[in-house]
Amino acid sequence: MSLRKHLINLQLRLFEKTHIARCKDPDKLRRSFDFKAKWFFHPPRGSRFENSILSHNGADVPVLWARAPKLREGPALLYFHGGGYVFGSPQSYSAMLAQLSDRTGLPACLPDYRLAPEHPFPTAVEDALTSYQAIMDHPGGVVIGGDSAGGGLALALLAEIIARDLPKPKGTFAFSPLTDMTFSSDSFANNARSDVVLPAQSADVMAEMYLRGADPRDPRASPLFADFTNAPPVWLAVGDTEILLDDSRNSAAALRKQGVEVTLTEARNLPHVWPLFHGYLPEARQTLDELSGWITALSPPTSDS
């Protein structure tokens, strides 16, 4: 293990995991994560950010656009942040998406979807669908992405797009996605100690805030159980010490069984959603490079771009 990886894992275990486990106030979690993201995660020089609104059929979703200084023609990246459907924000993830925009030459859109417990399930899915419908005719198409709960939301949105026979995205990617809100996989128990970020004992609390009695096997909450027949390619990345390891493994198996082309990366001893640490971990930058190559292969630059 590299020294940087060891130090970050230790810091996350001692401070972040403990903080998430002890803090029961969603507002405190939101303020804390946004504050730390502002100080520790930085975009490339020259990145541009713009607040905007996406609208469709009378519904509005605030969004934050992250754009590299130089863009090419191609799809827009529609990215849903993590945070257990309870905390997190576009601002917290803007630096990472600016990094991805810089690598791909594509604009990134981060919806500020409504959070629980103020706005329980299926509000997040409704906001995700509104966001997609507002930009699904973007020249060059759309690539959907997300992390953790946002990764599950991205996959749930993909299933909704297929069920509604909407224009399909070019592809969908997710870092450490939450795809099974029954929390019944082997890794959820077996990796409870090795996961340096997510406290397994807090999952039921956040799930209750979000689901409010809804069926955790509803495919909009747990896309592991969704129908992805005829879906475009999917790219997944997860760490082998995460409690959500099997969420990616089982989802990849289910997708492949339905004929979907899947790329699954399992990283050795890296923290939950490690690409956030692109300024500190070489492995984070390598993963962003690999994802950027996958996205570019979905829609290569034209010779005059």
208 classed as catalytic? no
Residue tagged active-site, from 47, 89, 92, 148: 148
Q: Is 21 exposed, middle or buried (0-12, 13-18, 19+ CB in 10 A)?
A: middle
Residue type, 174: A
Can you say how many angstroms the Cα of residue 72 is from the centroid of all Cα atoms in its chain? 23
How far apart (Å, rounded) are the C-alpha atoms in residues 290 and 86?
A: 29
The dihedral sign for the CA sequence 51, 287, 82, 224: positive
32 classed as catalytic? no
How far apart (Å, rounded) are the C-alpha atoms in residues 54 and 131?
A: 6
Question: Which residues, at least 6 apart from 111, have a Cβ–Cβ distance to it below 8 Å?
Answer: 54, 61, 62, 63, 78, 80, 90, 127, 128, 131
Closest CA to 237 of 212, 274, 184: 274
272 classed as catalytic? yes
Closest CA to 244 of 211, 210, 302, 195: 195
Residue tagged active-site, from 47, 92, 185, 242: 242
How far apart (Å, rounded) are the C-alpha atoms in residues 119 and 130?
A: 15
Query: Token digits for 28?
Result: 């405190």
The dihedral sign for the CA sequence 281, 33, 271, 239: negative
Closest CA to 12 of 189, 186, 273: 273
Q: Tokens 């502002």 map to which residue?
A: 38
Residue tagged active-site, from 101, 272, 292, 299: 272
Is 150 in a helix, a strand, or coil?
helix
How far apart (Å, rounded) are the C-alpha atoms in residues 68 and 66?
A: 7
Host H or E run for residue 145: strand 142-147
Active site residues: 148, 242, 272
